Amino acid sequence: MTESVGMSPLPAVRCSSCEFKWNSPAMAEGLRLLGSCPKCSGELIFAGDAEPAAHATETAERFAPARVTAPHLVLGIPRR
């Protein structure tokens, strides 16, 4: 991951609608399976989306039931 001007790591995933950012590669994988922002249902932008489309398709097909499950079942119970 490259560093930005402020020396904070670039987010792994960012929502184009609500601008929320996730930094964890594990969260990026979970969000990739969900396909949309769990907060606002907006479009997700993945940093360095250099992952080949074939791998993304294989992953999506392998975990297809996750697309119809609730976000908390994929990402975990939210902290209070």
For the segment 41-77, what is each residue's pLDDT rounded down to a tens digit? Answer: 999 999 876 554 555 556 556 655 555 667 777 777 7
Q: Which residues contact 37 (CB under 8 A, 6 or more apart)?
A: 15, 17, 18, 20, 31, 43, 44
Q: Which residues pair with 22 in a beta bridge?
A: 13
pTM of the model: 0.51
- pLDDT higher for 75 or 6? 75
Triad 35, 37, 39: Cα angle to 5°: 150
Sheet holding 21-22, edge to edge: 21-22, 13-15, 44-46
Transcribe 39-77 into DSSP letters.
TT---EEETT--S-HHHHHHHHHHTGGGGGS-HHHHH-P
In the chain, % of residues over pLDDT 90: 28
Domain boundaries in the chain?
13-51+59-74
Q: What is the pLDDT of residue 52?
A: 46
pLDDT of 26: 87
Q: Which two tokens stand for residue 8?
A: 């904070």
